[in-house]
Amino acid sequence: MKYSDIVKTTIIISVIGFISAFSLSFMKKITQEPIAKQEQEKKLEALALVLPGYTVQQEKTVTIDDTPFTYWIATKEENRIVKKAWAFLTEKKGYGGPVQSIVGVDESNTILGFTILSQNETPGLGARCVEVASNETFVDHFITKNLTSKEEVSWFQEQFVGLNASKPIAIQKKGNWHKEMKEELIQHNAVTAITGATITTKAVTQSIEEGIQKLHKALTLQEVQ
């Protein structure tokens, strides 16, 4: 190959490389804002779910145990008394990667709501942590098309409501959670594991336990400041 051909090829490859890099950079720039907006909207929806009846007043991010920790302060007025609640982001590695959640707790550390923001668990197993159960019957689906019978919250996530986040959350193997289990599980501060996905269940319970400890540290830090 002639020297001139080598130079020509090099220039062409460089130009293609520059155009590709510029295109990727441009695409990232124009998609960055919509993605950020979408993530923010998802967080706001999650906060409304985990802090029912409360109004979020402030968002804070502090460093706890050398890692960023984000939490929200919320209030509501009841019988002329202002009550506080908090929500916090927490994350723990599951079977397929990090499971990130938002947890809402009141002044007694009782879980008001819990929702999983992101997970990469195995479909049909750990991914059932976001599975939404349905009470829809065969007739509802094929004849009446009644969609109002569907549950809006995952059965796995719903069972955490009412538990004490500051105490160890036990794991029992009772199959899919249903409302008849609620009182017995709350008495033991326990949840029922996802069948075949104990690792995912442990990741979630441990993330809540670690998250509430960080929240207490953050609130102590706030008082000192």
Q: How far apart are CA 121 and CA 187, in angstroms?
A: 29
Residue 36 is predicted with a pLDDT of 58
Half-sphere exposure of 16 toward its Cβ, with a 13 Å CA cutoff?
Answer: 6
Q: How far apart are CA 88 and CA 93, in angstroms?
A: 17
One-letter-per-residue 3-state SS of the chain: CCHHHHHHHHHHHHHHHHHHHHHHHHHHHHHHHHHHHHHHHHHHHHHHHHCCCCEEEEEEEEEECCEEEEEEEEEEEECCEEEEEEEEEEEEECCCCEEEEEEEEECCCEEEEEEEEECCCCCCCHHHHHCCCECCCHHHHHHHCCCCCECCCCHHHHCCCCCECCCCCEEECCCCCCHHHHHHHHHCCEEECCCCCHHHHHHHHHHHHHHHHHHHHHHHHHHHC
Residue 35 is predicted with a pLDDT of 56
Residue 76 is predicted with a pLDDT of 95
165-202 pLDDT per residue, tens: 999 999 999 988 888 999 999 999 999 999 889 999 99
What does the domain layout of the chain look like in residue ranges? 1-39, 51-224
Q: Which residues contact 102 (CB under 8 A, 6 or more apart)?
A: 43, 46, 47, 50, 87, 88, 89, 90, 114, 115, 117
pLDDT above 60: residue 4:
yes
At residue 6 the predicted structure's pLDDT band, cuts being 50, 70 and 90, is low
At residue 161 the predicted structure's pLDDT band, cuts being 50, 70 and 90, is very high
C-beta separation of 99 from 119 below 8 A: yes
99-157 pLDDT per residue, tens: 999 999 999 999 999 999 998 898 888 888 888 755 444 444 444 444 333 446 789 99
65-83 pLDDT per residue, tens: 899 999 999 999 988 999 9
Work out the average pLDDT over 3-25: 69
Work out the average pLDDT over 45-66: 93
25-34 pLDDT per residue, tens: 666 666 656 6
Residue 143 is predicted with a pLDDT of 45
Query: How far, rounded to the nearest angstrom, does the alpha carbon of residue 138 sit from its chain's CA centroid?
Result: 32
Residue 200 is predicted with a pLDDT of 94
